[in-house]
Amino acid sequence: MEYELRRQLSPETKVYFPGNISYNDATIRWNGGMRPDFVAVVVPTTNQDVATTVKYANKHHIPFLAVNRGHGSSLDLNKLRRGLNIYIHNLDSISIALDGEYAVLGGGVYADPLIKTLAEKGKVAGVAGAGLGGGFGRYQGLYGLVADNFLEMTVVIADGSVVTVNDRQNSDLFWAMRGAGHNFGIVTSYKYKIYDSIATWYTVNYQYTHDKPDDVFTELNRLNNNGRQPKEVITYAVFAFNPSISDKPVIIVAIWYAGPESSALRYTQPFLDLQPASFSNQTVPYADLADAVGTGVNSPVCQPGMGAASSPVGIQNFNTTTNRQVYDLYSDLVTKHPEFKGSVVQFEGYPMQKVQSVDSASTAYAHRDDNLLVSLQAIYAPSSISDDIAPQYGHQIRDLFHAGDRPDWPLNAYVNYAYGDETLEQMYGHEGWRIQKLRALKKKWDPYGRLNWYHPIQ
């Protein structure tokens, strides 16, 4: 392999094998419970290198997987054995158009350098990986999902061909890439609509003891206002274990506001009035926001190697009775199984105005009617026992949320968080025409299932 593949690639492209430290860096994943097996890592420097590697893999019947930061989690990843890791992190170019209307970005660009580079120009954009499954973000109330702002992509498809996709060229594939893209190709570059950033953000964090969940979620429902919360406001709440506050799980509420503190107070003051056990706040430039709220590239939550299992469900409103049941089940998890004390139940509230103004049929992303996203994020040291415990609790919590919201409606699972045992309909939409279309496109663009390692359409 080493000689035959290397001689077909550009001189700058690297190929690493097990035992090489660079191989280890390229194959470690954020979720240590997802363990695809690779015989080699190819680090391409051009989209043609990606295409060549795919053709080589197909010729020799070797499975392949494109990898950037390694954050994707799906049970299907564990099915990949003796494959090629196409490590695209060197495809990281960032070029802003002279008119400031769009940027052309490499498929290996990730959030931290993209945010900081564009912030210098007063702009914002989204990363390809999240956008392939929809892509929530702090600006979505103003600008929509990441998927809604792709203008064009250069994609290496399953047979190794390089194609351009947009509204005019290969428009059927462009539709599929925006919501189910992991099934259809490797994005080597993309043209993306960019927007003016909001320079200053105000963040506030409250921690409440176990006796406050009803009051907290009543206030969160008022602020969310059935998906019509102010476009500048994002809420993120969790049940978490924090022994410095209490020996019982606490309720943490974070509010991120796109603007100054003075404008945010009308939304944040009611949560202070609930008398939290702990309170902190700060004003930061947008470029530093991820680090400030604990989701930056160097934040503990983003470090690789721990086991993780997510069981998401989209809902309309917070049900206080359900949330108490979920609190009790989460408390049972971290009490009986202390190895899960780093886990959280998370409640994400993004403004949905712009997202829901987009025709649901215009992209493969289906779940635009969900106002909130909730899930157990089980975090633990990987082991066969914990790998079994995590989904047991996760699915129970997911089912409680669903039963307490719209039990007569089908369950929606955000594909970027999905565990991997959900149905196609739960991940990609319950409309018959939508699944039929996705299956037809899969048959057209990937007839042999070469791209079946992340929530595959089958």
Q: What is the pLDDT of residues 234-292, one digit of tens each?
A: 999 999 999 999 999 999 999 999 999 999 999 999 999 999 999 999 999 999 999 99
Give residue 43's pLDDT: 97
Using pLDDT thresholds of 50, 70 and 90, give the confidence band for residue 152.
very high
Q: Please tell me the distance from the alpha carbon of residue 30 to that of residue 10, in angstroms, as a whole number.
A: 29
* Integer Rg of the chain from CA: 22
Q: What is the mean pLDDT of the segment spanning 298-313?
A: 89
Among all chains, which residue has been given the structure tokens 């409680």?
400
The per-residue pLDDT for 234 is 97
Q: Is the pLDDT at 2 greater than 80, yes or no?
A: no
pLDDT score of 178 more than 90: yes
Contact 138, 198 (CB under 8 A): no
3-state secondary structure of 227: coil
Q: List the Cα angle 20/25/27 in 5-degree steps.
A: 95
Strands 38-43 and 83-87: parallel
Give the span between the Cα atoms of 368 and 457, in whole angstroms.
20
Tell me if 182 sits within 8 A of 235, measured CB to CB. Answer: no
Give 149-213 as a 3 state SS string.
HEEEEEEECCCCCEEEECCCCCHHHHHHHHHHHHHCCEEEEEEEECEECCCEEEEEEEEECCCCH
Query: What ranges make up the beta strands (E) of 313-407?
Result: 313-315, 344-349, 372-380
Distance (Å, rounded) from C-alpha 137 to C-alpha 254? 15
Cα–chain center distance at 398? 18
CA distance 342 to 326: 16
Secondary element (H or E) of residue 262: helix 261-272
Residue 338 has pLDDT above 90, yes or no: yes
Give percent of the chain above pLDDT 70. 100
Q: Which of 197, 195, 198 is nearest to 102 (CA)?
A: 195
Is the Cβ–Cβ distance between 406 and 372 less than 8 Å?
no
User: Hey, what are 446's tokens?
Assistant: 């990937």
Question: pTM of whole model > 0.75?
Answer: yes
Please give the Cα distance from 16 to 295 (Å, whole number): 30
Strand pairing partners for 104? 95, 191
Closest CA to 236 of 279, 205, 276: 205
297 has pLDDT over 90? no
Are the C-beta atoms of 372 and 405 separated by less than 8 Å?
no
For the chain, helix, strand, coil in percent to 5 are: 35, 25, 40
Confidence category of residue 458, pLDDT binned at 50, 70, 90: very high
Token representation of residue 450: 């070469």
Looking at the DSSP bridge assignments, the partners of residue 154 are 164, 189
Q: Are 372 and 224 in contact (CB under 8 A)?
A: yes
Structure tokens at 424: 């196609």
- Band of pLDDT at residue 97, cut at 50, 70 and 90: very high
Among 83-97, 151-165, 292-306, the least confident range: 292-306
- Tell me the C-alpha distance between 213 and 238, whole Å: 11
